[in-house]
A and B are shown apart, each in its own frame.
Chain A
Amino acid sequence: MMGTRHASVDAGSRPARPGGSTSPAAAGPTRAGRTGRRRRVPLRTRLRRDWQLLAMVAPGFVILLVFSYVPILGNVIAFQDYNPYLGSNPLEAFLHSDWIGFGQFQLLFEDPAFWDAFRNTLAITAFQLVFFFPLPILLAIMLHNLLSSRLRGFIQTVVYLPHFFSWVLVVSFFVAMLGGAGLLAQTMREAGMEPWNVMTNPDTFIILVTAEAVWKDVGWGTIVFLAALSTIDQNLYEAAAADGAGRWRRLWHITLPGLRPVIVLLLILRLGDALSVGFEQFLLQRDAVGRQASEVLDTFVYHFSIATGNYGYGAAAGLFKAAVGLCLILAANKVAHMLGERGIYSRS
């Protein structure tokens, strides 16, 4: 049973189970047969009534088919000795390549570079969970308590902005400010100090990438928490204050519990994505700090497949990552249910 992430979005309609036939034409009769109490309308009538809706859905259907579903099925090249030069184009080459079972995975698990990437990914996820995840919550609470709405609006406008910058831009900003020829180094040289270049130091790379991520997204991350804060009943605060609770007690006993469902939800999503720590950010800085410190699973997939032409190998690494990721998100959701939270989707 696989729920989809939207279930919490529209509670009205439970998602159908994916898998089996997804063709719309097949869906009509099957459903009519399964739920007998729904009034039976002949397929032809429904088709005449709804053909315009189906036509509207068609372009998106085709784009997802070609650029999402075909690639997802294309994962099977992980079990092949895939050679793109067999046949006239990559798709035809797929038909001519040999099947080799789990050979690619065996190679992958024996590859120290793969385990380096795996370790780096987990280390960065853990580090960011501690040093990034709580920041939007704190910032949201601070913004929420500002009395001047003009000031709050101004700060929000400014801190949301970097979310819209590309990673190339963000890294460029950091290079211009903190790089070897950047403003910080320039100022330190003028002051007669030895400049340090944080952009190329592998030892502090984990701090650097976290700082970049915080700079880009800390403001954006507050939106959800600000919304949740505004739903907390103000009378609770007044009642608590009347009972003698100070501002920290009110924060601990009212504000944080009020935010708990959102925090849990975001934590689950983050854990489900534990193996994705960002891609462009790491690819852009890989050469500056070296592979040892900066390779993560996503860049591993790129460097050991498309960059080198070893497609089956990269597909195996990607498939491994996707499979683990799916397990993680299901597991995290399960834990949330056991803790009595709603989670991403609820069991029907």
Chain B
Amino acid sequence: MTATIARKPSRPRTRRPVWEERPTPVGQTGKAVLLGLLVLSVLFPLWVILVTSLSSRETIAQAGGLVVIPKGIDTSAYDTIFAGGAVTRALWISTLVTVIGTAIALTVTVLAAYGLSRPRSLGYRWLLAYFLLPFLIYPPLVPKYLVVTGLGLKDTIWALVLPPAISVFNLVVVRGFFQGVPQELLDSARMDGANDFLTLARIVLPLSRAVIAVVGLFYAVSYWNVWFDALLFIDRNDMYPIQRVLQSYLLAGQAPHTSGGTSGVTMPPTESIKMAVVVLTVAPIVAVYPFIQRHFIKGVLIGAIKG
């Protein structure tokens, strides 16, 4: 797979070669319409949701629900949310889970990737098989639930942080990158008396910033997006992460109410508050994404496919 891809990638074309026929008007228009619709299908909902969240009650009533064309900016929805309550708390919990989770997951993954990057080390083959097998056999839901509950992790953030703290996919990505570090560098570090921990910290990590950023983004996004694990393991509604709150605000009646349900929401939230919660859930992802986007294609391809 990688071999196929790594074979001299040709540069993307920027000019039409002389031998190629001129595009037909029909073909060009069709392509433009298709691609335009696709881009709009992503940007338009984002726009409508953002505008509605910033609209006043009157504008929303006038539009009959969602607002497409903004009329003035009204931040009252955000003021209400940040005055405290379920959403603010959930944002804190999610931030906590994301920060702690990403830190732990990155540490575990980087260490394991380095430990597994040297073919002739002790137990190498067995350990590699051990780490890669969960790629083929997923941990089954029911026993996993019983294990996490049995360890007493229920209703703590550790139930959300620890089980996904190593993803085989990310491990493969990082390990692939580490194996590309020139052997001479590692040897010279060894000559200077550096042990493996020092080599990792001083030589390998500084060379791997891009891949660490990508894998960090993958972990951070998956922790921020955690929903089902919270449905399983978090019963106390003051411990809900943001996705659970979003679900109870927008999809009430759409999704299962488990213990706790939507208590804490006494009145049905107004349209602008609902949309503000959506905006706050999307915002961190949209904010971080452009910085890392240019790296992640490389990262994805190193780790082959799946994800």
Contacts and interface: CB of A to CB of B under 8 A. Distances in A.
Partners in one complex: yes
Contacts of A261: 1, 4
Contacts of B254: 171, 175, 199, 284-285, 287-288
A190 B64 contact: yes
Interface in B261-279: 275, 278
B307 to A, nearest CB: 8
Given A227-B301, A231-B5, A61 B282 contact: no
Given A171-B254, A227-B301, A10 B42 contact: no
Given A160-B293, A311-B146, A53 B139 contact: no
B209 interface: no
B182 interface: no
Contacts, number: 364
Interface stretch (A108-116, A147-155, A201-209): A147-155
B301 A172 contact: no
A35 to B, nearest CB: 11
A155 B38 contact: yes
A89 interface: yes
A164 B144 contact: no
Interface string A96-125: 000000000000000000000000000000
Contacts of A67: 139, 144, 147-148, 162-163
Residue of B136, B163, B275 ringed by the most chain A CB atoms within 10 A: B136
* Contact residues of B: prevailing secondary structure: helix
Contacts of B275: 176
Interface string B115-148: 1101101111111111111111111111111111
A158 B39 contact: yes
B42 A53 contact: no
Contact of B130 (A18, A52, A305): A18
A7 B40 CA distance: 40
A142 B112 contact: no
Residue of B14, B140, B225 ringed by the most chain A CB atoms within 10 A: B140
B259 to A, nearest CB: 11
Interface in A48-67: 49-50, 52-57, 59-61, 63-64, 66-67
B173 to A, nearest CB: 10
B76 interface: no
What class of interface size applies to chain B in its complex with A?
35 or more
Contacts of B145: 306
A24 B125 contact: no
Given A91-B150, A164-B289, A72 B143 contact: yes
Contact of A306 (B5, B127, B147, B232): B232
B1 A168 contact: no
Given A72-B139, A287-B253, A234 B10 contact: yes
Contacts of A162: 42
Interface of B: 1-5, 7-17, 19-21, 31, 34-35, 38-39, 41-43, 45, 48-49, 63-66, 68, 107-109, 111-112, 114-116, 118-119, 121-152, 162-163, 165-166, 171-172, 176, 179, 195-197, 200, 221, 224-228, 231-232, 243, 246-247, 250-251, 253-256, 258, 275, 278, 281-282, 285-286, 289-290, 293, 297, 300-301, 303-306
23 contacts: A9-B303, A15-B125, A24-B126, A56-B115, A63-B108, A64-B131, A70-B143, A73-B143, A74-B140, A75-B140, A90-B147, A148-B14, A166-B226, A182-B65, A186-B66, A224-B301, A224-B305, A227-B301, A228-B4, A241-B20, A247-B21, A305-B142, A322-B140
**Pairs A-B, 8 closest by C-beta atoms:** A74-B143, A24-B123, A16-B125, A166-B225, A60-B112, A56-B115, A57-B115, A71-B143
